[in-house]
Structure 1
Amino acid sequence: MEPAKGVFLEASKDFTSFRKMALKMKPKLRIKEKDYFFIGIYKGYLYGLSDGNLLKYLVVTNTGDIVKDVNITVRVTGLHNLLFQAWHLKEDIKGTLNGNIKFRENTIPLYIEAIEKYLKAIELLIHPNLQKVQQYKEDLKMLKEICYVNPRKRKKLSYNTEELKIRLYWSFNAILERKVYTEEDLMNFIRSFDENGDFNVNDEEWKDLFKKYWIHY
């Protein structure tokens, strides 16, 4: 996320204030040759620092027009949610390898599974080659073993945790810093998690999300 500027700041001005700031998601979603952007309204503090608490959001075009189409909005929202989770996992990987996170044993498989699904998406979207796939498998095995070790002892392991962190960080940054996603990219992203995945705007989970956060619900 980055501060909204220009037409994006203008589009969100009615929803911001001294304690509410607008941030724009860096990647944009391209649907039928038109670009769409996610603008989040966050709780802010003095000097414009946000604590990451999303209050509301809107979707706008590259000319600053606010989008009210629910089918477009659900796709842009979906991309934001995927990237938001990717960012959290990237930070968790950093904390794990730095010895700052202690896991309950029953949560480790779920954590590794989530990372594995993102690496599958990264492989599909960014660099589909067998060498990377094999490296990912080895990295995941190493990360899983590290998770079971007491945080205080992780830095004493024979693993090169710094190299592992760099490799996994680079992979997650590749999707977080990507400038444009097409609708096909997005569907491939979704189906890395669920081969039958799609966006059903009548789904109750989407309705609840819209009701809570979408400005034009």
Structure 2
Amino acid sequence: MAHDTASAPVHIAVDRAHASQPAGAIKIRARDVNVFYGDKQALFDVSLDVPENSVTALIGPSGCGKSTFLRSINRMNDTIAGCKVVGRIELDGEDVNDRSIDPVVLRARVGMVFQKPNPFPKTIFENVAYGPRIHGIATGKAELEAIVESSLKRAGLWAEVADRLHQPGTGLSGGQQQRLVIARAIAVSPEVILMDEPCSALDPIATARIEELIDELRNQYC
């Protein structure tokens, strides 16, 4: 996993899609967040409020700390040796770094889609069913199948894969794989979806479809 290693403070601009609409309640609140990889500081004093039911874009040059900040929200940085997060990040007013917070549960609440599509080496069905199964969300086969179908429909992929659910997810096109990853993320009913440049590896047509999907999901997540 690449590290953001800005050597001096770099501002991250914030762009809110549909900014003319009234902002909802604050879902994520960051105050004075600093991140270190060993002795190297990658993020400097970030304070930010993200309202619910909104699309918020972090804009800045490569290496300025955008990915580092996103990974701090759902504690993905915990998986990086020597990484230290200082400051406070709240989800619904609760500090995500509090010792009482289970990172596994947190990551179910705060899903993440990465720069490059990363479907599991499993079937399309199993990619989406994985989260609900390990988190005990589905009580039986019928409910699990319903969750998979609903998630694929919400990700705009069902019509394209309904007749090949038991084929490998890695056999899909790049744009389809990214929508599969989004379906996998929403299958556990997260409250927030973090997307780290989800269209950077896609062609213009696939990019447009993902951007449309993000707008469609706006009223359900932040």
TM-score by length of 2: 0.33
Q: In proportion to residue count, which structure has more helix?
A: 1
Q: In proportion to residue count, which structure has more strand?
A: 2
Higher-Rg structure is: 1
